[in-house]
Structure 1
Amino acid sequence: MRTIFAAATLAFAMAAGAAAPDYGADFDHLWRTLGAEYAYFESRDVDWEAVRATHRPRAAEAKSRDAFIGALEATLETLTDFHLHLRTNTPASTRLVPSGSDLWAEWRGTHAIVTQVRSGHAAEVAGVRAGDEVLSLNGVAIAERVQRRLPCCRKDPERVRQWALLAELAGTHDADRVLSIRGGDGTLREVRLARSFRPRAESLVSWRRLPDGLGYIRVTAVGDTDAVPAFDAALEALKDTRGLILDLSETAAGGSTDVAEPILGRFFSKPAVYQKGKPRKGAEWRAEVAPRGPWTYEGPLVVLVGRWTASMGEGMAIGLDGTRRGVIVGTAMGRLEGAVFTDKLSSTGIGFNYPAERLFHVDGTPRERFVPAGPVDYERIPRERQASALLDAGVVRLRALLNR
């Protein structure tokens, strides 16, 4: 008994002697870093000093790590940037958009209208389709939930309101979502989207032959270097096709130039500038793709994109468009802003990602504003055809290219 008591006393003394995390210092580090390096302040009408005055007390006085994380998340939300986030979360954290979301909606006046649904994910499985109106979430009118979610210190309510709608619909890690929906035919229904839902796992790269000598390659992991040899194998199998569809519509997990540029390189016979960038301070830079592999695929190329084409997937799409090497078909993409840098808070070890460089199409259009020349309007497509609509549109466009 005496030995147990001594061990317990020692453990308590060691715990008592451990330095408590300095939440205030870590908050200041994050706030200063963003104030100096975040690339998109000019498009946010935000009072950054007021953000500090509002959120630092909550952060500095947090009683737990989870509470501190919550305070930091509230701070980042004032910039309403889905590419800006902590590298950790709590059960109560909002799922990341678009990587953790399964439906996209937009305001039409006072109505929250679903414009796209993620293939194979909970919302689609539950029967939600483009054209549906979201009336409420977990028993609270969606307009009320959005109003509650609006962050402090902003003066551009329309932009903030759209961000808040997407954040609310994404839900949190610890709760199911119950949506009250009005269909396009006026039918009311309620759907439950379980937090435990897991979509079917997909290969990094998949391929198949389509009728009329066409090929199809789907890439879902632009951040995994194993995708490069997998893509090469797919392209080799489709070497004899008349034209190719490259599906980037499920690249929401982000990516790396170490994967994207080698894939792009298979479509070029000489170097080409495919993207431009500009840090908050400093000179503009240009990213170039170089030819790669034993041969170049020279047939017509159609690229499929949508709201879950994100980050480096968006970079690949604007690159193929800007070099005129591919025709882009689909919708506006995830609209994640900028090239992401990573930093870590010294006291808690919490990491965070933030856009420190703006990214542009070679014609100067900001990447997040790019819209495909071949649009797909899911709201005008019958519910039963929405799942195949993107590929159908891509095939039609590829056949048109071949018939020129």
Structure 2
Amino acid sequence: MKKQITLLAGILMAVLFSFSSCQEMMVGPEVDNSNENNFRQMWEKFDSHYGLFIVKNIDWNKVYASHMPMAKAAKTDAELFSVLSSAVHFLDDKHINIYTNSPALTDYNSGENGHIPAQEGFDFKVIRENYLIEYHEESEDFGYGKLTSEIGYIRIESFQGEFSFYEKNIEKAITSLASTKGIVFDIRDHKGGSDLVSKHIASRFASSKKLFMTSRKRNGPAHDQFEAAINWFIEPAGKSQYTKPVILLTTSTTISAGETFTFAMRENANVTHMGTTTAGAFSDVIPHQLPNGWLVTIGVGDYRGSDGKSYEGIGITPKIISENKKSDVLNGVDKTLELARENLE
């Protein structure tokens, strides 16, 4: 479902800017590239597609009324960028980005007041060098091994590859760790991907069928027009299930499909959620190119936990709170991992 937005935007920007260059050589109606029209088009695209106006209690018409005069008055790209950024800032949504393809203007992320900060409380290199007694790397984003002879470890950084890759390798991981007494499942740097993958992997730890999420997408011009909701369930899947204790680790950079995975894992009775609150950005996104070539990403869905609540802009809070200090990580220490290990010993 979700994707690494920065990578997606880079690919789309390259294609779209190339297409725009080709358009300049073709005869056709002149595009209104005024600052006013760029703002209008962005506002209209959100108005017709964004899925969280009601959840976030946003008066989008009020945003138009307050920002259109500023867009008309804008004289430079920097001033227009400021207007557009200010408008989407009200949505407080980490899935919303403005990509300008301009080093002078950089880019903008709504949910972090401009830019998502680098994670300071986690570094997988620390775990690889100081804690794992064995590790099998299936890809840069997927690996498994052992912290002790009895405590297993699985790390998945994204669900962005082919479904078959994750299906095959989670089978290898569970088979390899079947004799352990517990597993630490680390998604503290998870950047999203497919919800079908998150559902399947969580189901490998399930002992019964349970609802873990509902989702619906905008399908009409009114802010309350959606497709019928889809119910997402986990249930035992694969050749076998790992039903011994599991501790799931998250941080504020665990986002998108990493969060739907967290929804699913928390429904399993053998899973304990530890770490810090997740990012709070669940929805699918679509890209939209403005007349000036800038790209915006727009969340089109409304995703909720099994309790029927939306956690957009809020995130999922762990049962056990544990946050690493930057100084500890720089010294090769991961206290959250140590706590998880101790809870399984």
TM-score normalised by structure 1 residue count: 0.60
- How far did 1:345 drift? 3.8
Residue aligning to 1:353:
297
Residue aligning to 1:93:
106
**Separation (CA, whole Å) in 2 of partners of 1:256 and 1:329:** 23
Contact 2:167 2:200 in 1 (8 A): yes
Structure 1 unaligned residues grouped into runs of 5+:
1-12, 104-115, 125-201, 400-404
Residue aligning to 1:209:
146
Instruction: Give the secondary structure class of the aligned counterpart of 2:154.
Output: strand
Q: What is the percent sequence identity of the aligned residues?
A: 20
Q: 1:296 aligns with which of 237, 241, 252?
A: 241
Contact 1:204 1:230 in 2 (8 A): no
Instruction: Give the secondary structure class of the aligned counterpart of 1:102.
Output: coil
**Separation (CA, whole Å) in 2 of partners of 1:233 and 1:324:** 23
Residue aligning to 1:281:
225
Contact 1:321 1:327 in 2 (8 A): yes
Contact 1:277 1:360 in 2 (8 A): yes
Q: 1:307 aligns with which of 229, 233, 252?
A: 252
**Separation (CA, whole Å) in 1 of partners of 2:26 and 2:72:** 21
- Aligned in 2, Cα 1:305/1:341: closer, same or farther, shift over 3 Å? same
**Separation (CA, whole Å) in 2 of partners of 1:17 and 1:375:** 59
Higher relative contact order (CA 8 A, sep 6+): 2
Contact 1:218 1:248 in 2 (8 A): yes
1:55-77 Cα offsets, whole Å, 9 max, x none, are 34565677787775554333212
Q: 2:206 aligns with which of 268, 272, 275?
A: 268
- How far did 1:398 drift? 2.3
Contact 1:255 1:312 in 2 (8 A): yes
- Aligned in 2, Cα 1:47/1:392: closer, same or farther, shift over 3 Å? same
- How far did 1:383 drift? 7.6
Q: Considering only aligned residues, what root-mean-square deviation do their CA atoms show, in Å?
A: 3.8
- Aligned in 2, Cα 1:345/1:377: closer, same or farther, shift over 3 Å? closer
- Aligned in 2, Cα 1:51/1:93: closer, same or farther, shift over 3 Å? farther
Q: 1:255 aligns with which of 166, 171, 193?
A: 193
- How far did 1:211 drift? 1.7
Contact 2:204 2:240 in 1 (8 A): yes
Contact 1:213 1:242 in 2 (8 A): yes
Residue aligning to 1:388:
334
Instruction: Give the secondary structure class of the aligned counterpart of 2:213.
Output: strand
Instruction: Give the secondary structure class of the aligned counterpart of 1:75.
Output: helix
Instruction: Give the secondary structure class of the aligned counterpart of 1:319.
Output: helix
- How far did 1:261 drift? 2.1
Aligned residue pairs total: 294
- Aligned in 2, Cα 1:263/1:383: closer, same or farther, shift over 3 Å? closer
Instruction: Give the secondary structure class of the aligned counterpart of 1:41.
Output: coil
- How far did 1:215 drift? 0.7
1:126-160 Cα offsets, whole Å, 9 max, x none, are xxxxxxxxxxxxxxxxxxxxxxxxxxxxxxxxxxx
Contact 1:102 1:118 in 2 (8 A): no
**Separation (CA, whole Å) in 1 of partners of 2:69 and 2:161:** 40
**Separation (CA, whole Å) in 1 of partners of 2:45 and 2:28:** 30
**Separation (CA, whole Å) in 2 of partners of 1:352 and 1:325:** 40
Q: 1:48 aligns with which of 60, 63, 70?
A: 60
- How far did 1:316 drift? 0.8
**Separation (CA, whole Å) in 2 of partners of 1:59 and 1:309:** 35
Contact 2:199 2:264 in 1 (8 A): no
- Aligned in 2, Cα 1:383/1:255: closer, same or farther, shift over 3 Å? closer
Look up the equivalent residue of 2:117 and give its one-letter code.
S
Q: Indicate yes or no: 2:259 matched with 1:322.
A: no
Structure 2 unaligned residues grouped into runs of 5+:
1-23, 127-138, 218-223
Residue aligning to 1:183:
none
**Separation (CA, whole Å) in 1 of partners of 2:207 and 2:98:** 40
Residue aligning to 1:73:
85
Contact 1:302 1:327 in 2 (8 A): yes
- How far did 1:304 drift? 0.7
Residue aligning to 1:332:
277
Contact 2:208 2:235 in 1 (8 A): yes
**Separation (CA, whole Å) in 2 of partners of 1:59 and 1:118:** 41
**Separation (CA, whole Å) in 1 of partners of 2:117 and 2:332:** 18
Q: 1:240 aligns with which of 170, 179, 186?
A: 179
Residue aligning to 2:158:
221
- Aligned in 2, Cα 1:81/1:240: closer, same or farther, shift over 3 Å? same
Contact 1:39 1:355 in 2 (8 A): yes
- Aligned in 2, Cα 1:73/1:346: closer, same or farther, shift over 3 Å? closer
- Aligned in 2, Cα 1:305/1:55: closer, same or farther, shift over 3 Å? same
Map of 1:78-157 to 2, 5 A cutoff?
A: 78-86=90-98, 89-91=101-103, 92-94=105-107, 96=109, 100-103=116-119, 117-119=121-123
Residue aligning to 2:286:
342
- How far did 1:342 drift? 0.8
